[in-house]
Amino acid sequence: MRTDVGANGIGGRGCHIAAALCLALLGAPALIACGGGGGGHHGVVTRITCGGVTVPGQDQVEFACPANSVSPIAVRVVIGPTSSMDVYGIKFDVVFDPAVLNFDSPAMEGSFLNKDGSPTVLEAATQPGDPGRLVVAVTRQGAVGGVGTSGAQTTVVTLPFTGVAPGTASLVFENATAVDPGLFPIAAIHFGSPVSVTFQ
C-alpha cells in the first residue's frame, strides 16, 4: 500500500496509517507535519536547472535531478549500494527557499523499499507555517525484514518542485536517517550534499 500526502492531507484509514508512521519514524512533534503539503502552479511552461548532483557511493543517499527541465522538476532521492540488507524505512526533511520553489504534490515512490513486493507507506508534506520544509518518510509495513541493494543507484522517492519566482534555491537534507525493522538507525547510511535549483 502507498499513501501520498499533499495539500489536502489524507483521510480515512490512510490517515491512521500516516499518523502511526509519523509517530514511529519522525517522532511525536512531526505528527503536525503530516497534515499538509504544497500545491503547484500548473499550465505555465517554465525552465528550471539543477546543479551539484553527485552519484551516490556505498551507503550514500543523494539528490538526483536533470540539468535542465520544465516546471515541475522531478527531484529524485536515490541510494547507492548498501552494506546493510535490512533497511526498513527512510525519513528526512528537505529544506528549501519557498520564495523560489514550491513542493508540487504528490510524491512518487521509487523501487527501493518495495522491491520485493512488500507493501509500503509514503508520506511527503510541508509543515503548516513552514512551507520551506518538506517532511518525507517511506517505510515498509508489517512484520517483514528490510531490504538493501548491491547494484547501481536505486530511487527511493521522487519529489516534484515548481518554480515560484526567479532565483536559486538549495535543496538540503536535514533530520535524515535510515532505520531497520526495529526502527533503530542504521549508522552506516549517510545523506549527501545539497543541490542547487534555479528557476528562470
Q: Domain span at residue 163?
A: 13-199
For residue 15, give the H/E element and its range: helix 13-21
Residue 31 lies in a domain: yes
Over residues 1-13, mean pLDDT: 40
How confident is the model over 15-29, as pLDDT tens digits?
333 333 434 444 433
pLDDT tens digits along 136-158:
999 999 999 999 999 889 999 99
Write the pLDDT tens digit of every residue in 29-62: 333 333 334 444 445 557 899 999 999 999 999 9
Residue 134 lies in a domain: yes
Query: Is position 5 within any domain?
Result: no
Residue 35 lies in a domain: yes
pTM, full prediction: 0.78
| pLDDT score of 151 | 82
**Residue 3 placed within a domain:** no
- Residue given cell 507555517 in the structure block: 129
Q: Is residue 188 part of a domain?
A: yes
For residue range 60-94, list pLDDT tens digits in order.
Answer: 999 999 999 999 999 999 999 999 999 999 999 99
Report the CATH number at residue 112: 2.60.40.680
Residue 6 lies in a domain: no
The owner of cell 543523494 is 62
pLDDT digits (tens, 9 = 90+) for 95-135: 999 999 999 999 999 999 999 999 999 999 998 899 999 99
What is the pLDDT at residue 46? 76
Domains of the chain: total: 1
Is residue 193 one of the residues assigned to a domain?
Answer: yes
Q: What is the DSSP letter of 46?
A: -
Output the pLDDT for position 44. 52
Interacting residues of 12 by C-beta distance below 8 A, sequence separation 6+: none
CB 37 within 8 A of CB 130: no
